[in-house]
A = this chain, B = another copy of it.
Amino acid sequence: MPGAPVAEPVEAPAPGVSRRGLLGFVGAGAAGLALGASAGLAGGIAVGRANAEAEAAASVYDFYGTHQAGITTPVQDHLHFAAFDMMAGSTRDDLISLLQDWSYAAARMTRGLEVSASGAVGGSPEAPPDDTGEALGLPASGLTITFGFGPTLFEAAGDDRFGISARRSPELQDLPAFLGDDLDPLASDGDLCIQVCADDPQVAVHAVRNLSRIAFGRARIRWSQLGFGRTSKTTAAQSTPRNLFGYKDGTANILSDDKPALTDHVWVQEADQPAWMVGGSYLVARKIAQLIESWDRVRLAEQNRIIGRSKGEGAPLSGGDEFTQPDFAKTDAAGAPSIDMAAHVRLANPQHNGGARMLRRGYNFVDGNNNLGRLDAGLFFLSYQRSPEQFVTVQRALSTDALNEYIRPVGSAIFAVPPGATPGSYVGAGLFA
């Protein structure tokens, strides 16, 4: 494919190749469009739409900003996550140009546009199209594209391939081994990652496919994961979704409008190191197989004991409703703790982990079935934190979790997610400045 032009985020999309949802708006002349005005843009798209469903589907989140989109963005319905490795022999310039090309394409696609101005049908008939075309006519669908850097990007087998090892964040280290880990190398690690979230899976898949295509010759997919049914609540308006064990998950998550908690627990601050990560975050990705057939044979009272909440309401077993704080000191008439000592909610709770909290935005997955006819299903856990230590602290506390009998971590990865790009620049530019 012809190299996509780099860093021209404010170019006017050609009306003939823009996705249908944007046509009316950009056709009126959108050169110099203020990219910060997501709300206005979404409003423009909505004009003439027949119903609120289409309006919701047309959500547009700004690619540029202080932070990357896709972290505090209200969790979308679908995920396509891909980890990439740089190709053998690729250079620092290859890496920089890749990040530039990816940023250019991501800025366009998240606006509901094709991957380049010529797109699927606007180029020469004698050349392969820039855009693969399956998202033509679909609205932006809340698409976010979030980029991260793995430890091996900075140093692989002692090799500083890209001349950035001196700038590596001291925090960006391989996660330690955790009890129960049964990790598949082909579902773990990676030089780079792209988290793509959207309310339409075809839009998410289109983004990963086209970013993978842009990477041709420089990087290739190491592993990827599709997910559905967000398992976390990130805004007060969202109801708490359920994981594949049938329990509400993410009741106590950090909400996207809780600025003090985001500052304390999610965003890398000025006081932290290195400077190029300020405004960024650390992403932990864990593929956790759930042994659902075994779980499904557990009696309800035992399921509740293991989780520490009721299955229906999601209330802590110490009483109240879903949003009541668990009372870990409470005991029953026999003197036993109302919330078991090995219950998941007890062990994961910040008050038992030095206040460690994370912003979670995981997804359920079903990857078909195994040869025994059992569904190959589970949780693709994603958490963002100011320091990986927050995740490590909680994960170590979960070593005695009663839930461990029914889950098996099969993939694991960590990435430094740099701050958002500014228009005219690209994601991760600070690393190379």
A298 to chain B: which residues have CB within 8 Å?
128
Stretch in contact with the other chain, from A267-275, A367-375, A384-392: A367-375
A125 to chain B: which residues have CB within 8 Å?
299-301, 304
Q: What mask results when residues 111 to 155 of chain A are scored 1 for a CB within 8 Å of chain B, else 0?
A: 000000000110111111101111111000000000000000000
Q: Would A128 and B296 count as touching, CB distance under 8 A? A: yes
Contact residues of A between 374 and 424, Cβ < 8 Å to B? 374-375, 377
Stretch in contact with the other chain, from A26-34, A62-70, A240-248, A341-349: A240-248
Stretch in contact with the other chain, from A205-213, A253-261, A325-333: A205-213
A368 to chain B: which residues have CB within 8 Å?
223-226, 367
Most-contacted residue by chain B among A201, A209, A292, A298 (CB, 10 A): A201
A125-B299, A202-B229 are contacts. A246–B134 as well, Cβ < 8 Å?
Answer: yes
**A166 at the A/B interface (Cβ < 8 Å)?**
no
Q: Would B201 and A228 count as touching, CB distance under 8 A? A: yes
A129 to chain B: which residues have CB within 8 Å?
246, 300, 303, 311
Compute how far the CA of A176 lies from the CA of B368 in the bound complex, rounded to whole angstroms: 26
Stretch in contact with the other chain, from A37-45, A48-56, A88-96, A157-165: A48-56
Compute how far the CA of A130 lies from the CA of B229 in the bound complex, rounded to whole angstroms: 22
Q: Would B366 and A312 count as touching, CB distance under 8 A? A: no
**A193 at the A/B interface (Cβ < 8 Å)?**
no
Compute how far the CA of A302 lies from the CA of B245 in the bound complex, rounded to whole angstroms: 49
**A234 at the A/B interface (Cβ < 8 Å)?**
no
Compute how far the CA of A200 lies from the CA of B229 in the bound complex, rounded to whole angstroms: 8
A127 to chain B: which residues have CB within 8 Å?
299-300
**A431 at the A/B interface (Cβ < 8 Å)?**
no
**A285 at the A/B interface (Cβ < 8 Å)?**
no
A72 to chain B: which residues have CB within 8 Å?
none
**A1 at the A/B interface (Cβ < 8 Å)?**
yes
| Sample of 18 more A-B contacts, CB < 8 Å, known A52-B53, A128-B298, A201-B201 | A78-B228, A120-B312, A121-B300, A124-B299, A126-B299, A126-B301, A129-B246, A129-B311, A132-B296, A133-B242, A134-B243, A134-B364, A202-B242, A220-B372, A224-B369, A225-B368, A226-B366, A367-B368
Listed in ascending order, the chain A residues whose CB lies under 8 Å from chain B are 1, 16, 51-53, 56, 78, 80, 82, 84, 120-121, 123-129, 131-137, 186, 200-202, 205, 208-209, 212-213, 220-226, 228-229, 239, 241-247, 292-293, 296-301, 303-304, 310-312, 364, 366-369, 371-375, 377
